[in-house]
Amino acid sequence: MIMTQQRPLEDQYDVIVVGGGPAGMSAALGAKEAGADRILIVDREKEPGGILLQCIHPGFGLQQFKAELTGPEYAQRVHEQVQAADIQIATDTYVLDITPAKQVQLMSGSEGMKLIQTKAAILAMGARERTRGAIRTPGRRPAGVLTAGLAQKFVNLMGVLPGHRAVILGSGDIGLIMARRLTLEGVEVAGVFEIMPYANGLNRNIVQCLQDFEIPLHLQTTVVDIQGRDRLKRVTVAPVDNHFQPDLSRSWDIDCDTLLLSIGLIPENELSRQLNIRIDPITNGPVVDSRMETSRDGIFVCGNVVHIHDLVDFVSAEASLTGRNAGLYVTGQLPPPDNIRLVPGENVGYCVPQTISSDRDHTVYLRSRQPIENCTLRLGDVYEKKLRYVFPAEMINLSVKPRFLQKFHGDSLKIDLLPP
C-alpha cells in the first residue's frame, strides 16, 4: 500500500467509520454505494487493513474475490477499492469517544485532538484476544507468556521471534497457524494443548500446521502451572476430566521459554459501552437489528465488533450491508424497523441479527453449542433444513426469505439445531 499524504480532516461528515479493517473498509464502500457523500474511515494504525495484515497465510477471499488470497492480499484489494471510490482514510488516528449527538472525538497524529460532527457512525473496531487473566492461569508472571496474535505481529510484521521453544495453549486457528509459523522460522514447538475434547481449529490447519511438522495436539489437557522468575522456564500441563478439573497426579513438565495463548477473541466495545449501546451478553457485541443498527439511532456496527467471525468473507458481506444502511439512513431512506424477534433455542449459542423483517431477504449467522452430525436446523415452524455436520467453531449462515414468513403472524421465532 503506497502511502500518500493524508487529506486534512473536515469538520463534518455524513458517515464516520471507526476502524479500517476489512469490516470498516467494506462498510465505507457500502455507504458510498447507497448515496452517502462525505465518508471518513479512521484507524489508529499506520495503514488500513486491520488484523489481516499479519495473517500472511492463504484461505481468504474464496467468496468475495473467487480466489484464494492471503490476508495482506485481501486487505490490499479492499483498500484499492476504497481508494478508487475516493473515500478518505485517516490513519494514525484514534477515536476516543462518540457522543449521543454523534460528535466524534478523535486524536490525530498529524492534527491533534479534534471534535467532528457526523450524521451516522459505523463501529468496526474488530476484536482483541483473550489474555491470561481471562482464564486465570496460575503460576508466576515471567516474560514469554503472550497471545498468539501478538506473536503473529512480532514475527510477520516486525521480524522478531518470541523465543526458542514454545508451547501453545488453545487449538483455535490462530494458535495452529502460529505453530506452523514458528516452526518454519526455526522455533521448536513442543505441543498444542486444548482443554476441550475436540480441536477448535479447521481440519486443514490440524493437518497442515500440526501433522505436517509432527507437532503433538493434546486434547482435554491444560496448563496448570507457569514457572520462571524473569523469563518463562517451564510449564506444567495436566489432563482434565469432563468437568475441566485437572488431574494433577498425571501432570508433566515441559521446558519452554514461550507460551502462546490462543484462547479466543472478544469484541472490542469500549466505545459502544461509552455510548450506552445495548450489548448482548453472549456475543459480547452490540445487539443489532437486521439493518445492523444498534440500540442507538444512527449508530451502525459490523465485523468482529458484533460477533467473532471465522471468515473474513462473511465480515465483508455483513459490512457492506451495514454500510448501505448507514448510507440510507443519511439520505433518509432507511427501511422500517423489524417486526420479528429471533430467539436462540436448542443448541444455538447465539444468532445475529437478533431481529428480522418479514418483507426482505436476510442472512442470519448462528453458532451451535456442540458438534452435531446430521443436524436439523429449524426456524420456528416455518422452515427446516438438514445440515450434515455443525460444529461450534464454524459459523452457520441461514438465508431467510420473505416467502418462509408469508403465513407467519407471530412476533418471535425460535431457532433450533436438533440432533437426529
Query: Contact residues for ligand FAD (CB under 6 A)?
Result: 18-24, 42-45, 50-52, 55, 59-60, 94-95, 124-127, 129, 149, 152, 173-174, 177, 265, 268, 271, 303-305, 309-312, 315
Residue 384: CB minimum distance to ligand FAD, A: 29
Choose from ligand FAD, other proteins, none: what does 125 bind? Cβ within 5-8 Å by kind: ligand FAD
Residue 229: CB minimum distance to ligand FAD, A: 29
Residue 29 or 155 having the CB closest to other proteins? 155
Choose from ligand FAD, other proteins, none: what does 412 bind? Cβ within 5-8 Å by kind: none
Asked if 67 is part of the footprint of other proteins (rule: CB under 8 A), the reply reads no
Residue 60 or 383 having the CB closest to ligand FAD? 60
Residue 371: CB minimum distance to other proteins, A: 8
Q: Which stretch binds other proteins (CB under 8 A): 65-73, 130-138, 239-247, 347-355?
A: 65-73
Residue 185 or 381 having the CB closest to other proteins? 185
Residue 150 or 343 having the CB closest to other proteins? 150
Binding test (CB under 8 A) with other proteins, winner from 35, 38, 47, 279? 47
User: What is d(CA 49, CA 316) in angstroms, rounded to the nearest whole number?
Assistant: 12
- State the cell numbers at 90: 485517516
- State the cell numbers at 171: 487449538
User: What is d(CA 167, CA 153) in angstroms, rounded to the nearest whole number?
Assistant: 18
* Rounded (10°) CA dihedral 279, 283, 287, 289: 170
How many other CB atoms are found less than 10 A from the CB of residue 8?
Answer: 10
What residues contact residue 186 under an 8 Å CB cut-off, 6+ apart? 161
Asked if 108 is part of the footprint of other proteins (rule: CB under 8 A), the reply reads no
Of 138, 358, 124, nearest to 237 by C-alpha is 138
Q: Which residue has the cell 468496526?
A: 124
User: What is d(CA 262, CA 396) in angstroms, rounded to the nearest whole number?
Assistant: 22
Residue 312: CB minimum distance to ligand FAD, A: 4
Asked if 184 is part of the footprint of other proteins (rule: CB under 8 A), the reply reads yes
Binding test (CB under 8 A) with other proteins, winner from 388, 407, 409, 420? 388
Choose from other proteins, ligand FAD, none: what does 24 bind? Cβ within 5-8 Å by kind: ligand FAD
Choose from ligand FAD, other proteins, none: what does 42 bind? Cβ within 5-8 Å by kind: ligand FAD
Residue 405: CB minimum distance to other proteins, A: 30
Choose from ligand FAD, other proteins, none: what does 179 bind? Cβ within 5-8 Å by kind: none
Asked if 107 is part of the footprint of other proteins (rule: CB under 8 A), the reply reads no
**Inter-axis angle of helices 312-330 and 71-84, to 10 degrees?**
20
Q: Which residues bind other proteins (CB under 8 A)?
A: 1-3, 46-47, 53, 56-58, 70, 72-73, 75-76, 92, 109-110, 155-160, 184-185, 202-204, 206-208, 211-212, 373, 388-389, 391, 394
